[in-house]
Amino acid sequence: MTAMATGTGTRAAGPSFLQTFVSRHGSMMPTFAAVAILLVLFVGAEIFLRGDFITPRNISALLLDNAYLLVLAVGMTFVILTGGIDLSVGSVMAFSGILGARLLAEGTPAFVAVPAMLLGGAAIGLMIGILVQYFNVQPFIASLAGLFLGRGLAYVVSLSSIKVEEPGILWLQSTRIRLGDWYITPTGLIALGAVAIAAFVLHLTRFGRTIYAIGGSEQSARLMGLRTARAKVMAYVISGLCGGLAGLVLTAYSGAGYPRNGIGTELDAIAAVVIGGTILTGGRGYVIGSMIGVFVYGTIKTIISFMGAEQSWMQIIVGALLLLFIVVQRAIVARSEGRR
């Protein structure tokens, strides 16, 4: 009963700043941990590579090379926050990319082809969302169906790579907006824009808060009168839309659409989101964290290629990090439940 005694009424002594901070922002801890890991990686690589790592060029390239993954991770964050999962995004990205490349190759103007890419992604997301919400299919299974569907559609569009020559699309990648040695491409801006919009939606709109509420307790959210069905379907639509957008970014980046793109990329996106501090059971996490997660992921990849080590090390390190983060998350969740 000790817990109850302190529960009611005004607190006798004011809580310390630290206590208040923890009670308010406990759920940010995993994201702080991700930032810490990113810093450790940067500093470690800098020391190891004797000052050759933290250069404006490398950091700029980090965003550029991982822009498509960042876009996917943004969409994935919505889905994981509801407690779901979306395995389809890698295939959706491939489908969107090859669809766009083919439309452009056949002379369709970019202002038609690009919306078609985005809508294609959103449509697959909508299908998954409806399966999950109204047919009560496990998100894992529904999005697995989406994975096969997207990949199959990509092969239907074309079995081989299609080069993109549309200048508007190539401009997205070739333009370098420079600031000293730093630079950013329109694809990078698209990715950062996606992060900014997602952050706004998740934190400053009722729809965004409903996403968090669903992750906390879907039944409670429904009983609180929130529009959970719509929000849950929308989470998958957003993820599909981001898949379509990532297809655009990747097509611009690689200058071609290819139906075998993004095999397994959905897992990279999930890994980035989890490393960024979003909890797989939903309700806690930040889209900014997912961005950090993508940077952690990208940095590991860069370090490994700098070292000339086997790419398999990439997978081992990411696997270890994931394990570490899941354990950290469990500990945090257990603690916050234990405090009650």
Partner 1 sequence: MPADNEVPPIVEMRGITIRFPGVLALDDVDFTLRPGEVHSLMGENGAGKSTLIKALTGVYAIDSGTIRVAGEQRTFHSASDAQEAGISTVYQEVNLCGNLTVAENVMLGHEPRKGGGIDWRATQREAARHMESLGLAIDPRSMLASHSIAIQQLVAIIRAMVLEAKVLILDEPTSSLDRGEVEQLFDVIRDLRSQGVAILFVSHFLDQVYEISDRITVLRNGALVGEHPVEELPRDALVTKMIGRELEDLATLEKSSHRAIDRTGAPVVRAEGLGRRGVLEPADLDVYEGEVVGIAGLLGSGRTELVRLLYGADRPDAGRLEVRGAPAKVHSPRHAIDHRIAFSSENRREEGVVADLTVAENIVLGMQARQGWMRKVPRKDQDAVVAEYIEALGVRPANPHALVGNLSGGNQQKVLLARWLATAPELLILDEPTRGIDVGAKADIQKKVSELSSQGLSVIFISSELEEVLRLAQRVAVMRDRRKIGELDSTQVDLDGLIDYIANAGEGSAA
Q: Could you tell me whether strands 182-184 and 177-179 are parallel, antiparallel, or unpaired per DSSP bridges?
A: antiparallel
Among 119, 222, 314, 315, binds partner 1 (CB under 8 A): 222
CA 96 – CA 71 distance, rounded (Å): 13
User: Which residue lies nearer to partner 1 by CB, 178 or 227?
Assistant: 227
Q: How far is the CB of 74 from partner 1 (least distance, A)?
A: 18
Number of residues that bind partner 1 (CB under 8 A): 42
Q: Tokens 């990319």 map to which residue?
A: 97
Query: Per CB under 8 A, which region of 21-29, 54-62, 93-101, 237-245 contacts partner 1?
Result: 21-29
Nearest to 239 by CA among 75, 71, 72: 75
Contact by Cβ (8 Å): 77, 200: no
CA 251 – CA 187 distance, rounded (Å): 10
Structure-block tokens of residue 205 = 């709109």
Contact by Cβ (8 Å): 245, 71: yes
210 binds partner 1 (CB under 8 A): yes
CA 273 – CA 295 distance, rounded (Å): 11
Among 32, 134, 182, 200, binds partner 1 (CB under 8 A): 200
Q: What share of the chain is helix, strand, coil (3-state, %, to 5)?
A: 75, 5, 25
Q: How far is the CB of 8 from partner 1 (least distance, A)?
A: 6
User: Which residue lies nearer to partner 1 by CB, 133 or 173?
Assistant: 133
User: Which residue lies nearer to partner 1 by CB, 40 or 224?
Assistant: 224
Contact by Cβ (8 Å): 215, 283: yes
Vertex 163: Cα angle to 161 and 164 (nearest 5): 135
Tally of helices (H runs) and strands (E runs) in the chain: 16, 4
Look at residue 178 and give its three-state secondary structure: strand
For residue 134, the tally of other CB atoms under 10 A from its CB is 11
220 binds partner 1 (CB under 8 A): yes
Q: How far is the CB of 286 from partner 1 (least distance, A)?
A: 12
Residues in contact with partner 1, shown as a per-residue x/- string from 65 to 84 under the rule CB under 8 A: --------------------
Query: Per CB under 8 A, which region of 97-105, 106-114, 223-231, 299-307 contacts partner 1?
Result: 223-231
213 binds partner 1 (CB under 8 A): yes
Query: Per CB under 8 A, which region of 29-37, 168-176, 203-211, 249-257 contacts partner 1?
Result: 203-211
Q: How far is the CB of 272 from partner 1 (least distance, A)?
A: 21
User: Which residue lies nearer to partner 1 by CB, 24 or 50?
Assistant: 24
Residues lying near partner 1 in the complex (CB under 8 A) = 1-4, 7-11, 15, 20, 23-24, 26-27, 200, 203-206, 209-210, 212-213, 215-217, 219-227, 283-284, 336-337, 339-340
